[in-house]
A and B are shown apart, each in its own frame.
Chain A
Amino acid sequence: MKLEGNVWKYGDNIDTDVIIPARYLNTTDAKTLAAHCMEDIDQVFAKEVKPGDVIVGGRNFGCGSSREHAPISIKGAGVSCIIAESFARIFFRNAINIGLPILESPEAAQDAQKGDPMTVDLAAGTITNQRTGKVYHASPYSPVVLAIIQAGGLVPYARNILGITS
């Protein structure tokens, strides 16, 4: 699958409290959450993000709480994937589980600038920065993570392994 969009660039240790502040956690609705995504560090993001856009973060992206609302709000905003130098553990699992593509590539993340057009080939694990023409290889997924991605998230994965068809 090929993803295409422009970069929204953020720094290190972007925590789940800034991705989606706790004051909005009394709902699970993706659209409502998306409307407040990133608002404490970037008031334009939720208004101007375009379907397909890519979030690029530094180290430890998604640190802090276990709220699945964080990747849900990002996915709800139309973001096609997140690229970062590294991800916080719970956020990584949550994103994979809900089917939000997430790629670790320190070089791609460091080189990217706000607005850069990016192409991501998920099957090949490659990231292309169209401004510079540079191609990067993301860290490969572990077998379980790959199986969850291929199933389309943890819910369909669970249904498959439990043999639930109804």
Chain B
Amino acid sequence: MRKHTLIILAVLLAGTLAAQTKLQLNPGGYHGELDYPMSWKRYYAYEEWTKIMRDLQQKYPQLCDIQSIGKSRMGRDQMLLTITAKATGKPETKRAMWVDGAIHGNEVNGITCSLYLAWYLLTRYDYDPFVHGIVDSTTFYVLPGLNVDANDSYVRFPNTENNPREPYRPVDDDGDGLFDEDQSEDVDGDGELSDMYVEDPDGGFKLTPDKRRFVSVEDPREEVKRFRRVGAEGFDNDGDGLINEDDIGGPDPNRNFPYGWTIADGYPYPMSEAETRNVFEFQLGLSNIFASFHYHNTGRLIMFQAPPAVQTQAPAGAGAEYAQRAQQIAQQRLEALRKRDKYIYRAPRQVAPEYQHDLDVQNEIVSAGARILKDFTPTIGGLSGQAHAATYYMFGAYSYLIELWGDPTSEADIDGDGEVSDEEMMKWIDLELMGEGWVMPHKAKHPDLGEVWIGGTSRKHIGRTPPARYIELEALRQTNFVLYAASQFPKIEFGEIKVTPATDDLYWVEVEVKNDKAYPTSSDRAVALRRAVMDKITVGAGGSCEIVAVPKAQTAVDPWNRAAQSEVVAAAGTEFRLKGHETKRFCALVRLKGSEGTVEFAVKSKMGGAAAKKITLKMD
């Protein structure tokens, strides 16, 4: 065999990065925040946040589209932003991240977090290379407020933290034959819904010495003015002797999705609510959703969808010992990992082999999320008709339900016992909220009860949704997590090239195709659903090169190195799937007839982008 020296020129053909006009290299410098100034110190009502969306879209039309995906029960449009750099491709041609907030009407923290994400992407695109790269390659569908009727009411009207939560389908909660007839009201017109007490010598409550709270009477012999707790603030609208027993709001919207739907939780029927049906119908029309985030309050949880658990029979005898030992070893390994990284999470679930990669990917992503969000706990999300169960199990998209905020435990727990006592809570409100958070007990007139005392509870936006000073902090770190996940969306690239002479004029040309990101180019679930579009590699020759047809199979180019086999690229192209952090090797048998020729590999991946590599073979 004669050896020829070959000069190989490889040119990576990839989409050239669009020029960043205002690239900011100083991390502490200006990144466009004032190009569209926004206050993150408040919550926005429906008219306000939709106006912000329209304004943003008008300011960044080359990055952003806006549309209504349908109307709510009371006729409000659910407004959605589609964000991507149109210059690099249409939104439906790129892999997409879906983000929605406030499916539960009172969990409006999700609106600010989603809106912040949109604002961050749009204002920083020209300045921030990280954002620029993501917005070029990825589409974001952002629906800040999903349950728009309840969202608007929660922000604009006096409400407790718990309502309105559901869409406004009339439901007879108390079984008296009337629908939504006894709702909570602001009895004293102070703009807050609190608790009501009545002076009663036999009552079980008393005022604290500072007159700020009602507490239980511990010692029955104590001589103190006593109160009886009536309940939440409101009138007895239907005269049945009960107050607020049938408030507005019907079926739980996050039990209304089709996957895992049950009649017990998801009453009345799947997709019965216009607000949720509009979302799902819109998603059905898209084939490019790769991952989704759904915002809720509260609890500091990263609930992620995992593949179905495999039911393993409890082994008996020697098998039981083995299983126990295996569990111990797994536990030890986890602890060792945690010594390096205290945020590492491993899901306590066994899955079938064809789903193992999805579980591994989720472990990796939520571990990083726990680190980014600092005090959030990853946990496996349930089915039961939840939105993110549908996204994963029906579309194969990696989905996350984020329970934002949480009781201000780490903030308020100053004695470090892991609990927030009433006193600690009051201290926190006084010191850190500058007196904003409390309804002081005061007298008021009630048409049914006579004279009542109202107060002794926190205001809205303390427990379930964060107070103003925390809005931006929460929004920024959530955006951080979403963008981390987006940055880990699969990216298909070419790696090393290797040319091995076979004989006279035949050469094996091998290329590495790799995905260095955490997510695969298709999820295991998408493959199981037969929704996954396989990646495809094709090869062509030019000049005096020609491809020699050999059967498609794993080929040992170097028979002494079977570990490094490559797959021959078929004439019509070869389909494959790249998992996260995976590299595959492909090869073609090339005949160099003359002195110079080219071989070009091209890969296309629905979710992983595209790449091409041209190799020039030159005879010396």
Q: Do A and B bind each other?
A: no
Chain B residues within CB distance 8 Å of chain A: none
Chain A residues within CB distance 8 Å of chain B: none
